[in-house]
Amino acid sequence: MATMAAVATGARAQTLDSPLHIVVGYAPGGATDRVARIVGDKLGARLGVPVIVDNKPGAGGRLAAQQVKATPASQNVLMLANPAVMVVAPLVFKDNNYDPERDFVPVSHVNAYDFALSVSPTLPVRELNHLLAWMRANPNQANVGVPATGSLPHFFGLMVGEKARVQTQIIGYRGSAPLLNDLIGGQVPISIDTEDVVLPQHTAGKLRILALSGAKRSPFAPDIPTFKEAGLDLAATGWNTFFAPASMPREKAERLSNLIREVMQDPDTQRKFKDAGMTPVVSTQAQTAAMLKAYKAQWAPVVQKSGYQP
């Protein structure tokens, strides 16, 4: 009886007094939205209240951040965001209207993803060093397509060019779908996008991934070398992380962080992430804060040096 009472008391301690809203700055169906729904389904059972995913697309996720920033302390709200919203946008938009460090509290880092450098099947190269040689020999043709200007693939493309000492002409598209079409059709010779987007096309033989950006080989594509293995000393990843508005009481943010960590340790959650082609991450609040600090230190110089203006 004492054990049951302790369990019941612990369960009540985890509940909230109203539903939890997870705000996503993109339309339903994308990678960030899928992450929010996988975690949200599991989190609701632990909290004892509904968890509602609110899609607030617009301005590349910045509208969602501006909305969550203004959330009063009485509301239960988290935002699931990626580096484009929390690292890049504050560096390039003068009217950003939010400060990631002042207006938000990191809660939990939940997944990571690699960037893939792919080539059109019409390009006669099969290894990264061969591609770099081709780019040096054909600078006027060495266009690199990315799903959007100002995106992480855009800046990773600049990192590749600088590290390899090759001139890269970045071509921004309106999303991954038109970029894939042009890459497969040979209208653009090279692309940089996220692994989950291009891997199915690579597997089908419609394009070739020459390298992935992780520090070690991807579990989803163990036959594809990392950039370091391919001869270019470079590694980078993207992520999705939960943030609370700065107005949220510290104890509540800590509780949500601990519960999300429990969710991410759940084997069924990990299976769902892997089935979606995403790498799950189990992280404490302190580890999440440290990751964000290191990430900004890596990417801020690249973004600022690029001179990119929206």
Is the pLDDT at 7 greater than 70? The verdict is no
Q: Where are the alpha helices (DSSP H) in the chain?
A: 2-14, 31-47, 62-69, 83, 89-92, 100-103, 128-137, 152-164, 176-185, 195-203, 250-265, 267-275, 285-306
pLDDT for res 15: 65
Determine the Cα–Cα distance for residues 90 and 100; give it in Å rounded to an integer: 8
Q: How many CB atoms lie within 10 A of CB 138?
A: 11
Residue with tokens 């002409």, as numbered in its chain: 169
Determine the Cα–Cα distance for residues 284 and 276; give it in Å rounded to an integer: 23
For residue range 218-266, list pLDDT tens digits in order: 999 999 999 999 999 999 999 999 999 999 999 999 999 999 999 999 9
Is the pLDDT at 4 greater than 90? The verdict is no
pLDDT for res 51: 97
Name the pLDDT band for 14 (thresholds 50, 70, 90).
low
Q: Where are the alpha helices (DSSP H) in 48-95?
A: 62-69, 83, 89-92
Burial of 68 per CB tally in 10 Å (0-12, 13-18, 19+): buried
Nearest Cα to Cα of residue 130 among 215, 234, 208: 208
Contact by Cβ (8 Å): 209, 198: yes
pLDDT > 90: what percent of the chain? 77
pLDDT for res 280: 96
For residue range 191-202, list pLDDT tens digits in order: 999 998 899 999
pLDDT for res 13: 43
- Could you give phi then psi for residue 212, rounded to 5 degrees? -120, 155
pTM of the model: 0.84
Segment 21-41 shows an average pLDDT of 92
Q: Which is it for strands 143-146 and 169-172: parallel, antiparallel or unpaired? A: parallel
Q: Could you tell me which residue, 192 or 30, shows the higher pLDDT?
A: 192
DSSP 265-290: HSHHHHHHHHHTT-EE----HHHHHH
pLDDT for res 175: 85
| Dihedral sign for Cα atoms in the order 144, 189, 276, 29 | positive
pLDDT for res 1: 35
Determine the Cα–Cα distance for residues 239 and 244; give it in Å rounded to an integer: 16
Cα 22–chain centre separation: 16
Name the pLDDT band for 19 (thresholds 50, 70, 90).
very high
pLDDT for res 9: 35
> Over the chain, what is the mean pLDDT?
91
Determine the Cα–Cα distance for residues 90 and 99; give it in Å rounded to an integer: 7
pLDDT for res 290: 96
Segment 50-71 shows an average pLDDT of 93
Question: Per-residue b/e over 249-285, b at no fewer than 16 CB within 10 Å?
Answer: eeeebbbbbbbbbebbeeeebbebbeeebbbbbbbeb
Tokens of 149: 């200007």
For residue range 98-128, list pLDDT tens digits in order: 999 999 999 999 999 999 999 999 999 999 9
Nearest Cα to Cα of residue 161 among 142, 188, 185, 181: 142
Q: Could you tell me which residue, 30 or 109, shows the higher pLDDT?
A: 109
